Amino acid sequence: MSDTFDDFLPEALRFTAPAPLVDIGANLTHDSFARDLPAVLRRAQAANVTTLILTGTDREHAEQAIAMARQHAGKGLGLHATAGVHPHDASRWDADLATAMGELHRQPEVVAVGECGLDFNRNFSTPAEQELAFEAQLELAAENGKPLFLHERDAGQRMREILHAWRDEITDAVVHCFTADRATLFGYLDLDLHIGLTGWLCDERRGHHLRELVTQIPSTRLMLETDCPYLLPRNLPAKLKGRRHEPALLPWILREIAHWRGESEAELATATTATARRFFRLTADAAGETGRDDMTHEDS
């Protein structure tokens, strides 16, 4: 696989991270990537985003993410998947789905349970349905020992109460796309959770409070994500046709967060990648990664 940029990204958006990055939240099973996935993966590699965690937000998308990780492994890019049921779809939770998700969690490509959690902002499923599906997935994670990939919007208080009750049963958990306030952040850190940051703080309208908060997150608890195709950073130095976010733009988010933390990009890249590799238990060396951990330890 060649690791050069094509001409899809304008010159000003062809970033290369100073150290390999892990994008812990890439929704590459989204329809908008169906047309040009191989090119998206090549650009990620060219940007030195060498490991992608493909988000599985329901059974169908988790199955697709696993298949995608399997199909594109071994090309110098580490691809892994999560498998969960998003709070929006919590009303679909039942015993059959629980069994199916438990089976998906046993696939070697799956490195986390989720995306799951609570979203009281939109309540596409009722809060009661969300809590039921969330606790059922906490139980699955407690059984299989895999870390959790969590979604929370306007539900910080309830999320902390539930996680507090489960904290001794589960291993690790990351609150992805953290955008909440100081009290919620410290509540999560007190529970020894990890925090995923997106390009939200690149948004001059609503990211201000995060710019101050990012200094409060220990680098051993901080990971980076695009949450693509959503949340295209609003302050990119050039216009992007189609306005679809993609993993190759993660170095821009790295740059912003490093700036607000008062660190070098290299420092932050190295630290967040080490944290992500430990969190998702990816033992392979990023530079020489061929995908699944069990295939990456042969010296040649």
Give binding residues for a divalent metal cation as ranges. 115, 151, 176, 227
Minimal distance in Å, beta carbon 77 to Zn ion?
A: 23
Determine whether 96 is exposed, middle or buried from the number of CB atoms within 10 Å of its CB (0-12, 13-18, 19+).
Answer: exposed
Nearer to Zn ion, 77 or 175 (CB): 175
Interface with Zn ion by CB under 5 A: which range of 46-54, 148-156, 271-279, 281-289? 148-156
Interface with Zn ion by CB under 5 A: which range of 58-66, 94-102, 139-147, 151-159? 151-159
Interface with Zn ion by CB under 5 A: which range of 133-141, 149-157, 161-169, 289-297? 149-157
Minimal distance in Å, beta carbon 4 to Zn ion?
A: 32
Minimal distance in Å, beta carbon 113 to Zn ion?
A: 14
Nearest to Zn ion by Cβ — which residue? 151
Helix or strand run (H / E) with residue 66? helix 59-72
Nearer to Zn ion, 17 or 116 (CB): 116
Distance separating alpha carbons of residues 238 and 74, to the nearest angstrom: 33
Q: Determine the size of the site formed for Zn ion (CB under 5 A).
A: 1
**Residue 43 touching Zn ion (CB under 5 A):** no
DSSP letters spanning 198-263: -GGGG-TTT-HHHHHHGGGS-GGGEEE---BTS---TT-SS--GGG---GGGHHHHHHHHHHHHT-
- Phi (first) and psi of residue 276, to 5 degrees: -65, -40
Q: Which of 151, 160, 194, 292 binds Zn ion (CB under 5 A)?
A: 151
Q: Angle at the Cα of 150 (from 201 to 122), degrees rounded to 5?
A: 75
- Phi (first) and psi of residue 270, to 5 degrees: -60, -45
CB distance 150 to 114 below 8 Å: yes
- Phi (first) and psi of residue 211, to 5 degrees: -60, -35
Minimal distance in Å, beta carbon 177 to Zn ion?
A: 5
**How far apart, in Å, are the Cα atoms of 103 and each of 84, 148, 149?**
11, 16, 17
Minimal distance in Å, beta carbon 66 to Zn ion?
A: 19
**Which residues are known binding-site members?**
115, 151, 176, 227
Interface with Zn ion by CB under 5 A: which range of 44-52, 145-153, 195-203, 214-222? 145-153
Q: Which residues are near Zn ion by CB under 5 A?
A: 151
